[in-house]
Chains A and B, each alone.
Chain A
């Protein structure tokens, strides 16, 4: 069967990169790029940093100039919600009622911020994931504003640092013993706790939000330790939930375990013929450690979108890109690659307390992850070293 139309649901970096990759790979049929967000594809990484602080105009986050999509023959539809997939008929249905046929379909539906039942319906509570989330939060973060950040993952920690840079009074609650626990081992996380505290953040670890109430002009929070704090603004940053409903309704296999996501093989194919998934929403094989994973980092979504686009054209190779991410908090840059948590041995080069180091994490003597502060080039090389391991050498 010839491939004439490829539809992509989701205008985040996975979907947008897939659309452009189809053209780069020589596909000359119809490319539909459909997304619920009102914005043309843009970059999320600066949102919690420069964009929130107001030092990068929203305009600068655009992934490509506005005219680029039409120039490439990509039919970009923003503000359009796909409500159903008829996998047998190879059709998608939009909220407006329009039905569109496809020969290949890519689900790059990403995720949405996880919310907390105790903050439901309380005014003054924000989440941050999209460009549309930024203006109201930025306007609320004036000097002297009391901000309570719930969750010290990458987004929460970056929002806390940005709010301090905006002269807000910042308190952070984190249920784990150290901040950034999903990406940094405790030995490094504890240094990040010190960094935040030295910058004037009231970081409280090992405690979560128990209740939140609006009382006159302020918000009163009680944490699980029983401590009370008062805030003008609350930012909930407790992770994301993959957007799997569209796939699930269509009968496409999703992961029902804690990892979640749409189950795909090493080339991005789902359980439904001609339907693929890429980016944050994809539950994919981990070709270095074995098992399966979902990765929520920018570069992974970009690389996975590109690789899956090629697979949709029959030009795929097994996807084995090693995850990596970076963060900037209080002027300190960290680069993280691989799976540091999987290591059973740490080799340190540099000064941990001085926040100038590279840490290699090894399992059975083999490199599985690396974390570097002030060591961008070194971590980049270590990422390549992890990636050089083929699946035949997988150590799980």
Chain B
């Protein structure tokens, strides 16, 4: 049984110099067999294990992770959470996640620092205005909060934006989702890990999957650097490396893996209390609780698994940021990094069964998976436990690439992660 985190436990542990905190999760060796194995110990994978144990009472689960938990894209994203997607299927999926976010800290007894500071999307040309207004209406029909702001209202909401009509891409307005915001990404992985571990889930770190063993059309287990582990159900949540795992199982996915970059500045006093994104000029920025500006750049245009990204991508983003926020002209950037994102042709994820019995994939989140972490885990757990999708992820099956029933979210997902 885990000790509950509270103000009292904090005070109590302060007296012993914070040296007697209970371990948040164990470090077990893998058993010979599990009822289900999740490949990938990021936010989505840990959430999947958590909901499998909690809602579906499948407790004999392992999460195997090549590195350390939360060390991949969970720890590399820009932590933005929103649900203002265009199509009904996406609205259902992302708003399901947003609703879980709203009570997640309490549920996990772990402060994920969810902050509903609002996300504003800017329009810079007439087509942007038409598209964003359409999306606002679509969101409201789906019960998602969204408002259209004109240029003056944008300026009022975020005064540091340059709304001069004389810049190259003037701000013609924007949309605002007030329930949207940010969360602390590491805490999400750690909170789910702690919750899953308490229900008996084995989190096995530094254990790389080397192969998927099949018996005909069924999975039998996984080969790992810690030996063979038997199981009948495998949920793959490997983000940028999904295709690598798929190739081990002998199937192909409609994915391309590309480096996506982000960067943070030196920390400064509070200057921007919301998240502002702009698809047209490719700039989005927020401020972390530490005071750093958190800036998202774009993807490289070619497949690569090097977690770096090209310099010209960063230059383009910073150019756009400087035109929109002249106040940042002398800010120094502190760190830059890349993560490998798996992009689907329709910019929507895959949460699906495959043609192989017992093999499930949760992938294709591309540039914007963090926001969906709790919902993704919940729906993927449902899919694995029942061997069929929940109605909220039924549209996000692999078969849509055969039937042609794509969920095209390039407008809502392409840049604004």
Query: Are A and B bound to each other?
Result: no
